[in-house]
Amino acid sequence: MKVFTILPTDLNRRCWNYVSKEEVKCGNCNWRTTRLFVIAESKREAIRLVGEGQAGLCGECFAEMLADEGYELKIPEKR
C-alpha cells in the first residue's frame, strides 16, 4: 500500500467532495483543501475510493489518523 495525493482535477465534477478546480472537501472534517491523501494499492484505486466516499483526507486528518491508529512508516532503502 502507498500514499497517493488526489487533486480536484483527478475527480469527476459530480463527485460528492468536489468543490472546484482548486478545492475538494476532506472526507473526515469536511473542510475545503487543495488535495486529499489516500492509502491504496494504485492511483486508480485511490481515485475510485475517493469517488465512492471511502477515502480522502486533508493533511491534518491524515496525520491524525496515522498517529492515532499506530501506523509505522517504512523508509525505502537507497537503490
**What whole-number distance in Å separates Cα of residue 52 and Cα of residue 67?**
25
Rounded to an integer, the average pLDDT of 2-31 is: 90
The percent of residues above 70 in pLDDT, for the chain, comes to: 99
Note whether residue 26 is domain-resident.
yes
Question: What are the tens digits of pLDDT across the range 66-79?
Answer: 999 988 888 888 86
Residue 77 lies in a domain: no
- Mind giving me the DSSP string for 57-71? B-HHHHHHHHHHTT-
Residue 37 located in a structural domain: yes
57 has a pLDDT exceeding 90 = yes
> Domain of 55?
2-68
Let me know if residue 24 belongs to a domain.
Answer: yes
What is the rounded average pLDDT for all residues in the chain?
Answer: 91
Can you give the pTM of this predicted structure? 0.86
With beta carbons less than 8 A apart as the criterion, state whether 11 and 47 touch. yes
Total structural domains in the chain?
Answer: 1
Residue 51 CA to residue 49 CA, distance in Å, equals: 5
Residue 79: predicted pLDDT: 67
78 assigned to some structural domain: no
Inside any domain, residue 18: yes
